[in-house]
Amino acid sequence: MIDLKPRLSKQALDDLPAIVTKPNYRLDDTRIGIVHIGTGAFHRAHQAVYIDDLLATDPDWAICGVSLHSTEVRDALHPQDGLYGLLLLGQETQLRVIGSIRELLCARDESTAILARLADPAVRLVTLTVTEKGYCLAGEDLDVGHPDIVHDLALPDAPCSALGYIVAGLRQRRKLGLAAYTVLSCDNLADNGHRLRRAVLQYAQRVDETLAAWIEARVSFPRSMVDSITPATDDALRERVSSELGCTDAWPIQRETYTQWVIEDRFGNERPPFELAGATMSHDIAGYDRAKLRLLNGAHSTLAYLGSLMNLETVADAMGEPLLAGFIERLMRESIAPVIALPEGLQAPAYIDAILARFRNPAIRHRLAQIAWDGSQKLPVRLLSTISDALAANKPIASLCLSIAAWMQFVRRQAHRGVALVDPLHESLAAMGRACTGHAASDVDAFLQLDAVFIAPLSRDARFIHALHAAYAALADASPAAITHALTAAMHGDRR
């Protein structure tokens, strides 16, 4: 059937149904103040919405969205004047049109325009959501063998990585005598600002030592904690949003109603009044990101691997399985919460209750397969750091090790089925998965050789290795029956 609906655009705004919330500012009155690298769903569901709330009072903070690799987002949103629908899924649903992304550029063919934006004095803030792998780290340090870093170090004025662009922009600013911009990581990484700063300085050091010193002295890298569950866009969402808008939206976004953003208030240049849009400005956010990554994301990844092995499809489906839901709840309450220092004012029981309710949200179909992506990057910050802390405190780790063993079994199953993993280490993981025989000690020991994931001293800790062998063996052939058995055993193991 031919779709006769007009495309979502500036012109179409006036004719949108009254029930749709629209930008409460004139798009043409705004000016770009932020360059954001990584225009994926999370950015458009989270930061772009906070900025959309601010533009009526402060029109100088519109966003220039930069995609590093794919042209898809730009090509979808350009004909829509950067506008897109955001469906908020809670007890009631709400549809908004977001207008804060006023320019879209793709590094593939608009590198000069991106560098010009980075040198624009009106840009005072560069933000990024490039996911764990976009930081090009090996452990805590810059991965100097990473192909993108090798490329950028050879051609620092024609970069392809986020670090390369950040540094190329700062280099121009220094040359032009302009103030530096603040660089704010909005990625779901522990200590995201510190890690980014370290990687930027290590990279800049290799480009030009005096530039590295200038960056060290002038650029601030605040930390931030971001939280909002954002399932990937699918055709059902495209159809639903386009039909509710009465115009075609090529790339709408969906997310839960809940959203949180805690930002360290340490900006070297002017910043948007984020607090007016509901963000929390703080001087100590370490506790918040630890709590979020280890409780919410640690539980999410566990659900993703165990749930996928049980042939379940979504987080809500997994939470509908009483044994798995019970395991997740105990994992958070008994294995994770007791070994993390929570920030003042954050009460673990209430925080965990809220996470469980969010996971059960029936309005959201958050696919476990999406959360299972990039396990090699996610497990260290989400679960392995908790295991290290639990061992240091002499606390039980059987349940936590079951999460890690479930990932290994998941890798093994996908490899044997010939299903490609979405993971920067997919090639080595597939080879390892194919070589797995089901013998716990040899399979687990092969995975432990992945030193980008399992870092010493944890990877050599006899208690960890022993618990991991036991968890992997308990999952046996990773059939749903074996998993049921393993879940029960792990919970008893930790209680002994």
User: Which residues are near ligand CS2 by CB under 6 A?
Assistant: 188, 227-229, 297, 300, 370-371, 378
* Secondary structure of residue 461 in the 3-state scheme: coil
* Nearer Cβ to ligand CS2 (167/371): 371
> What's the rounded Cα separation, in Å, for the pair 426 and 306?
19
- Closest to ligand CS2 by CB, 282 vs 297, is 297
* Residue 411 beta carbon to ligand CS2: minimum distance, rounded to whole angstroms: 16
Compute the least distance from the CB of residue 367 to ligand CS2, in Å: 9
Q: How far is CA 172 from the centre of its chain?
A: 29
Phi and psi for 491 in degrees, rounded to 5? -65, -40
Please name the helix (run of DSSP H) or strand (run of DSSP E) that holds residue 301, with its range, or none: helix 298-309
In whole angstroms, how close is the CB of 378 to ligand CS2 at the nearest point?
Answer: 6
User: In sequence order, which residues have a C-beta less than 8 Å from that of residue 252 and are 6 or more positions away?
Assistant: 84, 85, 86, 87, 233, 237, 238, 241, 242
| Residue 268 or 375 having the CB closest to ligand CS2 | 375
Q: Can you read off the two tokens belonging to residue 468? A: 């991991």
Report, in Å, the least distance between residue 446 CB and ligand CS2.
25
Contact by Cβ (8 Å): 367, 232: yes
Shortest Å, Cβ 340 to ligand CS2: 16
The three-state DSSP-derived secondary structure of 425-438 is CHHHHHHHHHHCCC
Tokens 């194919």 found at: 434
Tell me which residue has its CB nearest to ligand CS2. 300
Closer residue to ligand CS2 in complex, CB, 378/412: 378
Q: Which is nearer to ligand CS2, 40 or 59 (CB)?
A: 40
For the CB of residue 228, give the shortest distance to ligand CS2 in the complex, in Å: 5
CB of 338 to ligand CS2, least distance (A): 22
What distance in Å separates the CA atoms of residue 5 and residue 15, rounded to the nearest whole number?
A: 12
Relative to beta strand 32-37, strand 125-128 is parallel
Residue 180 or 262: the one with the smaller Cβ distance to ligand CS2 is 262
Number of H helices, E strands in the chain: 22, 13
Shortest separation between residue 229's beta carbon and ligand CS2, angstroms: 4
The full DSSP string for 9-33 is: STGGGGGS-TTSB--SS-GGG--EE
Give me 287's structure tokens.
Answer: 């506790």
**From the CB of 262, what's the least distance to ligand CS2, in Å?**
12
Between 306 and 371, CB nearer to ligand CS2: 371
Closer residue to ligand CS2 (CB): 384 or 444: 384
* SS3 of residue 92 by DSSP: coil
The answer to whether the CB of 398 falls within 8 A of the CB of 467 is: yes
Torsions phi, psi of 272, nearest 5?
A: -65, 150
Q: Which is nearer to ligand CS2, 227 or 423 (CB)?
A: 227
Nearest CA to 201 among 215, 188, 220? 215
Q: How far is the CB of 58 from ligand CS2 (least distance, A)?
A: 26
Query: What DSSP designation does 248 have?
Result: B
Based on CB atoms, which residue is closest to ligand CS2, 220 or 260?
A: 260
Q: How far apart are CA 417 and CA 427, in angstroms?
A: 15
